[in-house]
Chain A
C-alpha cells in the first residue's frame, strides 16, 4: 500500500505544488472602501476632482431632453428616432430608456461621489478642520446642484433627496418638498464654506477661493429661491452671489472640457452644417426674435436646411463653438434676470426695468417700451430669458413655472409638450 501512498502524494504535489497563493486584488482601479477607511489627502482630492468631472456626463441627453420640451431645439439623428417622436409628443415618455434613465443615473452618481467624498473627509485623520469644511461645503453645493437639475426633469414626479445609504434610500418627495431640501442643502454648504480652506483642485472657476465657491453656492440658492417663488430670499442670495448688474454677462461658473486622457469633450457640441447628427434651433427662435437682437447668432444659419420626420430647420444651435468650449452652470446673465424677476414679483418695477434694459441694451436692443404692468413685465422677462439663456436648459422650466407650457408651439398634429419626465423604472421596480 505504501507505494500507492507515495504515488498519490507525488501526484497531489504536482497538482497543488503549482498553486500560487493569496487573493488577487483589483488590478485596474482603486477600491472605494480603502479610501473611505483611510485615504490620503491626494486620494481624497482625486474624489473631489472626479465629482466635478462626473457632473458633465450625459449632459447632452439632459439638454436635448429639456431643450426639446421647451421647443428650443430639434434634435435629428439617423439612428435615434425617439428625438423626433416620443420626446416631442406621441403617446408618452418611456420610463426605461436613455432620456429618462441616463440623466437621472448620471446626476445621482455624482451625488454618490459627493457622499463618498464626505465620508472619506469625515473619516480622515490627515485633514485640518478648516480643510474639511472646504471639502464638505463644496461637496454639498455640488450635490444640491445635481439634485436640482434632476428635479428639473422630474418636476411633480419628485426625486429622492436623501440617498446617503445606498441600501436604504429615502422616499421620493414631491416638487416643493424636494426644492426645500435642495435649498437646505445649499444652506449647509454655505455654512461649511464660511471660514473654510480650499486645498484641492477645482475647475468650475479659475483660481478658486472659499469666497468664489460661496458666491457660486448663493447663485444657485437664488435660482432655487425663484423656483420656490421666495422672491425676497432670491434677492438676499443674489447679494451674496457673484451677481453684478452691470458686469459681463458671461461671468460665471462652468464645466470645462479637453481631449486630455481621462477627460471628456463637450458632449453638447456639434459642428455647424453637420450631417447626420444635428442639433437645430427651433424655427420659432429666429422667427420671433426682435430685429437687431445679437442673440440671433446663437442660431447660426445653415448652408442647407435640415429636415426629418416632418420637421424642418435651417439654423444650427451655436452656443458651443468647439468641442472644448465650456458649458455654463450659472452665469451673470441669469442672475440679472433673476434679479429682474424677483423685483417684478416684489412689485419693485423700476429696478426690474433697469435690469431688463441692461439685458436689452447689451444685446443691441432698444430699452423696454412696452406696457408697464407686472404681467407684461413677466412676459418680457420670460422672453429675455428665452433668448439670453437659449439652449442652456431654462425655457421649458420657465414656461412651466408660469403655467405657459401651452404657449409652446407644436409643429405636428401628434406633438405635445410634456410637463415632466417619468421616474426611471429601476427606481420603483424593486
Chain B
C-alpha cells in the first residue's frame, strides 16, 4: 500500500508536468445578456489556483490543458463552468439578482455559495457601506445596515463611539460587542478613557462606571478600503470563532488588486459640512419668569440684558457651528496575471459642531496578492492609520464642568462672553462653557498598524480531491495618546486643581495565528466533502499609563511643569487558543450538512488549562435544485437550520482579589479592592438555534429571506452586588441564563429593470425580545443613576433591558419602559435611471425602545428647558413645573421616554458624466449626499441615539468599564451631527 501510494504520487507529478507541456492558450470574450462586455470577471482553471481576469473589453486569455473546465465568476453574476474544447471560448453571463452565487465564508478557511448557506449571514457591499452618503467613521457607517443588530451612537463627538449589539443583549456585564476581523486579523475595538473622570467626577457618585465616553478603536479603519463585510450574528454561524464570537463576528474584507492588465487609478474628493442634527432652543424669559426663577435680582438682570440687547442663545453658540468635512482618497489597483496590488491613501478631516472639536483620519493601505506557483499563493495586507479626535467635554459630571451641564444652568440673560481683555465672566451655578470650550483640550491620537499575511498551499490535488494548507497570521498594534488639558485659569480650576494635564499612553498589541488544513473530496459530481482542521492562537497585551499633573505652570502642558503629579498604570494580557475540526457535505449542490467542534481555553478563565467544548451543526436543503422541482417561477427554495455554541471569556482580573494602590503620608499602601475575586470564574456559554427559509422568485427578481433564532446564554458573567458590609461591593459570578428570540425578514426585489430605469430595493425587518430566564443571584439594578431617575433592572423572568423606577408617592417601584425596540426596519433603494443617474436611499425606522432622558431633567432643575413654559398637557401648569413636581414626588416615569425614530440615514444622488473616449480618463462621477439629515422623532432631546456610558470602555484597576446594557441613558451628550456632502470621483 505504501509503495503504491508513493508510486501514484510520482505518476501524478509526472502527469502534471506532461499536462503543462501539452497546454494550449484559450482566449475569449465575456459579455452580459445585452451583449455588453463585462470587465473584471475572474476566469479560473478548475482544481487549480491558476486564473486571470477579463480586461476592459471583457477579453481574457489563459493557458489551459485541452478539455479542462474554466470557471467564470463575477460578483452580481451567476458563476458558469464551461469546458474549454478549443482555443476560443466566448461566454455570456447572466445576472444573479438574488446573489445566490455569492460566496459566503462559513469557516475559518472555507466558504459556500449563498444558495447553499445554512445561516442567515448578512453581507454589506462597498456600495451600501460607503457609497450612498459616507458616514464619519467606519462603525457609524454600519448604522441601520445589519438586520438583527441594534446599533447606537454613544457620542456625537467627532470620532464617534458606536455600540453594536447583534440579536439582543448577549452579555450583561461582559463584552457585548462583536469581534471584528479584518482580512483574517483579529483587531481590537476597545475604548480607552482619557482620565476625564478626575475633572468631571462623573463616576464618583451615582454610578461607578466610567463616563468619559471615548471613541471605539474600530473607527480607525478606513471604510473606503472595504470590499465587503459579512456579519455572523450569533453562535450558530460564528461558533468556529469560539470564545470570542458570542456577540457575533464582523468579517471585513478589504479590496484587493486584480490583474486587469491595466492599472486603474481612482481619485475621489468629498467635501461638505456638518451641522447639529437638532438644537432644542433655549427658554425665553419674561420679567415674570425671570422673577419666578431668581427673585428680583434675576428679574433686574433680565431687564438689563433685554434692554441692552444681550439675551443669548448659548446652545446655538456652543453647538451651532458648521463644520467643514473633507475626504480625499486615491487608490491604485493593478497587477499582472500572478500579482495583484491595491494601494490606497486617504485623508479625512472633519470639524465638529462645537468649536475646537474635530476629527482627522489619515491612512494608507497596501494589499498584495501573489501567485508563487500553481500551488502556493501569498497574500499580504498592511495598513497604517493615524487618527486624531478633539472631543470636548460632555456627558455627565458631578463637578458642574461639562458643556451640557453648564449650559443647563444658564439663563439667556446671563452674559458669559469674555471682555476685551479676554476675561471670562464666572457662571455662578456651574462652569462657563464658552471658557471651557475655548481653553481646554481633549484629544485622542492613534497611530495604528494592522498587518497580516496568508499563505495558501495546495498540498496535493487531483480531479477528485485536493488538500490545502492555510497559514494565516496578523498583528494589530496601536498606540493611543490621550491628552486632556485644563489650564489653571479655567473657572473650575482656580483654587482647586489649579490646572490639570492628564496624559494617557496606551500600547495595545493583538496577535493571531492560525493554521488550517482543508481537504475537499468529491467522489462524484453530486457529492462533495470539505474537511477542515486547524488550530488558532490569539494574544493580547495592553499597557495603559495615565500621567496626571495638577497645579500647572501657566500655558504649560508637560506633566513635569506642575507642582503635583499622579501616575496610574494598567496592564492586561491574555492568551486564548483553540483547536477545531469541521466537516461540510454538499449533496447534489442542493443539500448542505455541516458539523464542527471547537475546543477553547483562555488565561482569563479561573482554570486556564480547561478546554471548553463548543460544537456546531447546520443543514440546508435547496429544494429548487432537486430534479423533482418544477415550479419555474421559484428558482431557489431553501430551508435551513443551524445550531452552534460560542463563549465569552471572563473579564481580565475577575479571578483575583487585588490590592490597589492607596497611599497616605508619603507611604505606599495596598488596599483590598472592592471587587471580590472569584477563582472559579468560567466563561459564558451561548447556544443559538437558527432556522429559516430563503426563497427566490422570477430568476431572482424577488427574494425573501426569513430567519427565526433562539439564542440562549448560560452561566452569565454577572458582577454581583455583594452585601457591601463584606467590604466588597462586587464580585464576578456565573449567575444566570439569558435568552434572546427574534425574527429577521428580508425582502429584496428588482421591480423594474429596463435599460433606462432600474430599481433595486431591499427591505429588512427585525425584532428581538430578551428574557432573563434564570438568575441565581438576587435581582439587581444597574446601568443608570438609581430608581428615582430610572434604572435598568435584571430580574428573572423579565426582559434584560427593562427600565424600572419609582412610581411616585408611596407607590414603590415599577416598570417604566424598555430600551429594546419593538422592531426595527430598514429600507434601501437604489434607482438607476437615464443610464447615468443613480439615486440611493437608506431609511431606518426604530419603533419603540426607551431612553432615560436626564438632559431634560438637568435643564428643568435650573429652569432653563426650552419647553419649560409650555403646557402641552393643558393642565394649567407649566410643563417644566409639572416635571419637577413629578421629581419631587419621586415619579421617575417622566424621565423614561420613547426614543422611536424614523430616519433617512443616507441619501445620495450620483451622476456618471459621459466623457468622450480617451486614453487618460475613463470615468468621472459626481454626486451629492446627505447623512442622517432627516429624522422624525417625538423624543425631546438632541437625538434618540445616545449613551452616557460608551459601549466598550475598558475596565482598569481604578475604573469600571462599560457593561452590555446601559445604552440609552442620556446626560447632556455631545449633540449628534448630520452631514451634507458633494462628491467627485475620477477614474484614470
Contacts and interface: CB of A to CB of B under 8 A. Distances in A.
Contacts of A276: 399-401, 406, 409, 427, 429-431, 491-492
Given A49-B669, A276-B427, A109 B653 contact: no
Interface stretch (B572-580, B586-594, B938-946): B572-580
B579 to A, nearest CB: 7
Contacts of A275: 400, 426-431, 491-492
Contact of A98 (B205, B408, B551, B661): B205
A49 B668 contact: yes
Interface in B418-454: 426-431
Given A79-B405, A275-B428, A260 B727 contact: no
A11 B294 CA distance: 77
A332 interface: no
Nearest to B729: A105
Interface in A92-129: 92, 94, 96-98, 101-102, 104-105, 108-113, 115-116
Contacts of A163: 725-727
Q: Which of A76, A101, A276 has the most CB of B within 10 A?
A: A276
Contacts of B788: 82, 86, 94, 97
Interface in B699-732: 721-729
B2 to A, nearest CB: 7
B205 A166 contact: no
Contacts of A270: 496
B888 A11 contact: no
Nearest to A312: B295
A23 B607 CA distance: 9
A426 B723 contact: yes
A27 B571 contact: yes
B671 A53 contact: yes
Interface string A42-72: 0101111111111010000100000000000
A207 interface: no
A56 B2 CA distance: 79
A11 B727 contact: no
A267 B201 CA distance: 11
B890 A90 contact: yes
A24 interface: yes
A400 to B, nearest CB: 22
Contacts of B569: 28
Nearest to A48: B669
A199 interface: no
A15 B514 contact: yes
Contacts of B535: 11-12, 14-16
Interface stretch (A209-217, A287-295, A302-310, A386-394): A302-310
A260 B548 CA distance: 11
Interface stretch (B79-87, B227-235, B779-787): B779-787
Contact of B667 (A49, A77, A92): A49
B47 interface: no
B722 A30 contact: no
Interface residues of A, number: 102
A261 B567 contact: yes
A24 B400 contact: no
Contacts of B858: 78-79, 81
Interface in B633-660: 653, 656-660
Interface in A18-38: 18-20, 23-24, 26-33, 35
A26 B652 CA distance: 9
A357 B672 CA distance: 46
Contacts of A323: 496-497
A261 to B, nearest CB: 5
A111 B727 contact: yes
A108 B671 CA distance: 12
A370 interface: no
Interface in B750-781: 778-781
A27 to B, nearest CB: 4
Q: Which of A12, A46, A270 has the most CB of B within 10 A?
A: A46
Contacts of A3: 5, 9, 460
Given A23-B608, A86-B890, A429-B778, A271 B729 contact: no
Q: Which of A33, A80, A260, A306 has the most CB of B within 10 A?
A: A80
A266 B723 CA distance: 28
A169 B663 contact: no
Interface residues of B, number: 113
Contacts of B397: 79
B550 interface: yes
B18 interface: no
Nearest to B548: A261
B809 interface: yes
B888 A414 contact: yes
B670 A77 contact: no
A274 B726 CA distance: 38
B661 A78 contact: no
Contacts of B671: 50-51, 53-54, 109, 113
Given A31-B656, A85-B888, A424-B724, A43 B429 contact: no
Contacts of B514: 15
A109 B674 contact: yes
B785 to A, nearest CB: 7
A406 interface: no
Contact of B670 (A7, A30, A81, A82): A30
Contacts of A228: none
A50 B396 contact: no
A320 interface: no
B533 interface: yes
Interface string B918-943: 00000000000000000000000000
Interface string B326-355: 000000000000000000000000000000
A262 B666 CA distance: 9
A297 interface: no
Interface string A265-283: 0000111101111000000
B467 A7 contact: yes
A229 interface: no
B494 interface: yes
B664 interface: yes
Contacts of A94: 786-788
Interface stretch (B178-186, B218-226, B357-365, B558-566): B558-566
Q: Which of B517, B665, B726 has the most CB of A within 10 A?
A: B726
A90 B806 CA distance: 13
Contacts of A308: 429
Q: Which of A8, A29, A78 has the most CB of B within 10 A?
A: A78
Contacts of A148: none
A26 B890 CA distance: 44
Q: Which of B428, B551, B787 has the most CB of A within 10 A?
A: B428
9 contacts: A19-B537, A26-B656, A86-B890, A96-B787, A258-B666, A260-B663, A263-B663, A271-B494, A276-B406
Interface of B: 2, 5, 9, 205-206, 294-295, 396-401, 405-406, 408-409, 426-431, 459-460, 467, 469, 471, 491-492, 494-497, 513-517, 533-537, 539, 550-551, 563-567, 569-575, 577, 579, 603, 608, 653, 656-674, 676-677, 721-729, 778-781, 785-788, 809-810, 857-858, 861-862, 887-890, 957
Interface of A: 1-4, 7-8, 11-12, 14-16, 18-20, 23-24, 26-33, 35, 43, 45-54, 56, 61, 76-82, 85-86, 90-92, 94, 96-98, 101-102, 104-105, 108-113, 115-116, 159-160, 163, 166-167, 169, 201, 203, 256, 258-263, 269-272, 274-277, 304, 306-309, 323, 414, 424-427, 429-430
Q: Which 10 A-B pairs have the closest CB atoms?
A: A112-B727, A15-B535, A50-B669, A259-B564, A271-B495, A276-B400, A78-B400, A49-B669, A203-B665, A262-B663
Given A7-B517, A8-B517, 19 more contacts: A11-B516, A15-B515, A15-B577, A24-B574, A28-B572, A29-B659, A31-B677, A32-B672, A49-B665, A79-B405, A94-B786, A96-B787, A98-B205, A166-B676, A259-B551, A274-B496, A275-B427, A429-B721, A429-B780
